[in-house]
Amino acid sequence: MTSTTTTTTTTTAELSALSCTNDEDLRVPFYCEENIWRLCYKRQERQRRQGQGVQPQHNVNANPDQDFVLFISNAQKCCPIFHQKATASSSRRNQPCFWDYHVILLSIHCSKTTNSIATYRTTASHTQTPPQKPQTQQQQQLLLQRQAWIYDFDSTLPFPCPFQQYIQESFSYSFPLHLQPLFRIVSANSYLQHFYSNRMHMYDTITQAWLQTPPLYTCIMNGYNSTSSEYSTSSSHSSNVFQGSNLHLYHTMQDQHTMQHQTIINQKLSLLDDSMYGLVVDLATLYTTWV
């Protein structure tokens, strides 16, 4: 006999986000895409209030930031990531967690000072630092004027974590090429506008039970009207599991050419607000773009 978990929705995703005084409290296990959506919404509202003269609580991102949602996956839907809470309390705590996809937030924090950039080098045995390319004086100055932070609710690393530390400790370069992560970069504004999910990918229609307990707030369906026509006409949307959601389009990687040239990605980043599903880059490109 299979037991069915019954949940009662009490509020909206937006209100639930604003009611959390601590960003880490936004976490609902196994719903990383919704956790990041709510974090994006909360940060957007925080910056909006700051612009209106309401000073937010002090944090490392007190100044206006540029936020990007990163969907991590690969063509095999099997992506190893170290330091994940899912394996932290088990016998596999020193092993990676293999996700079919994962969602994190990248925040680029602009600073007027030139000595605030955090540098990090790891000595962990399972990681290797990607080769550093020579930097011009102009590029060095740019790096000194910005900080990149990663928000990963499911990581045991600091929250937020310096970008370089997160990349070096979370991803191993010893895995075969087919397990290497790819990153779909979507602007936070676009993600807030277009993402929607009725969570049916987490529901077993045969047993009529949730695979993982869903959040108590209502489903995020804000983006349905803006993307439903494209959804209904695309042949790639045939899976019944994803009916009522465009989630799989975000973490599908093999349908788009991988960007590998930094000149291209820098040109594309400024256009991401107008791009529903962003662009896909490999690990080396992501690393060298913000380090």
Residue 286, helix vs strand vs coil: helix
Within-domain flag for 225: no
Residue 106, helix vs strand vs coil: strand
Within-domain flag for 203: no
Within-domain flag for 155: yes
Within-domain flag for 96: yes
DSSP string, 177-231: GGGS-EEEEEEHHHHHHH--B-SGGGEETTTTEESSPPPSSPP--TTHHHHHHHH
Confidence of residue 116 (pLDDT cuts 50, 70, 90): very low
Residue pair 202/210 in contact by the 8 Å Cβ criterion: yes
Residue listed under structure tokens 């909006």: 48
pLDDT in tens, 25-83: 999 999 999 999 999 999 999 888 877 655 444 344 444 678 999 999 998 999 999 99
Residue listed under structure tokens 């307990």: 213
Within-domain flag for 73: yes
Spatial CA neighbour of 66 closest among 288, 266, 283: 266
pLDDT in tens, 86-102: 988 767 777 899 999 99
Spatial CA neighbour of 219 closest among 42, 3, 14: 14
When pLDDT is averaged across residues 251-278 and rounded to a whole number, the result is 67
The CATH number covering residue 275 comes to 3.10.620.10
Which residue range(s) make up the domain with 126? 13-189+255-290
Task: Give pLDDT, residue 114.
Answer: 42
Within-domain flag for 103: yes
Task: Give pLDDT, residue 267.
Answer: 67
Give the count of alpha carbons within 13 A of 224, CB side only: 10
Q: Between 69 and 123, where is the model more confident? A: 69
Indicate if the pLDDT at residue 106 is higher than 70. Answer: yes
Distance between CA 53 and CA 70 in Å, rounded?
30
Handedness of CA 254, 255, 261, 262 (dihedral sign): negative
Task: Give pLDDT, residue 50.
Answer: 78
Within-domain flag for 208: no
Residue pair 103/72 in contact by the 8 Å Cβ criterion: yes
Within-domain flag for 199: no
User: What's the CA dihedral at 34, 36, 41, 47 to 10 degrees?
Assistant: 170
User: In this structure, how many other beta carbons lie within 10 angstroms of the beta carbon of residue 253?
Assistant: 22
Number of domains in the chain: 1
Spatial CA neighbour of 84 closest among 163, 13, 159: 159
Pairing of strands 97-99, 79-81: antiparallel
